[in-house]
Amino acid sequence: MPDSVLWLLARHDGYPAIANLRAEAHKRGIDSSRIVFAWSRPNAEYLGLYRHADLFLDTWPYNAHTTASDALWAGCPLLTLRGETFAGRVAASLLTAIGLPDLIADSVAACEEKRLR
């Protein structure tokens, strides 16, 4: 999606991964300004950031755990791809528990379709 950004938590400005991610995006023809870093902040401010996100795309094969819970508590919808291990099924469990099973995909193709919809 052309207007989307990848939003990542960052711990400090000198983090080498930041430069590496920006360089890799540039190599692939992606504007590196579409990678946005949210610096550490007090918890209430951190949770408030989720109001600016349209969708939390879960990681795979290792799902978000606490971060997924934070997004859901803050009212940000979460889309996940159900994995085969405990670590890959956490977000699906959270979504099932709160009655949002439609945000769980069982294949990469289904996840992409749900993401675009």
Distance of CA 11 to the CA centre of its chain: 17
Looking at residue 13, its pLDDT comes to 64
Model pLDDT for residues 29-53, shown as the tens digit of each residue: 999 989 988 888 899 999 999 999 9
Query: Is-above-0.85 flag for pTM?
Result: no
What are residue 36's DSSP bridge partners? Answer: 7
Phi, psi dihedral angles at 36 (to 5 degrees): -110, 130
Q: Is the pLDDT of residue 116 over 90?
A: no
Average pLDDT over residues 86-102: 95
- Quickly list DSSP for 2-25: TT--EEEEES-TT-HHHHHHHHHH
In the chain, the domains with their CATH numbers are 1-40 (no CATH), 42-117 (3.40.50.2000)
Map residue 6 onto helix, strand or coil.
strand
- Look at residues 103, 111, 114, 101 and name the one whose alpha carbon lies nearest to residue 76: 103
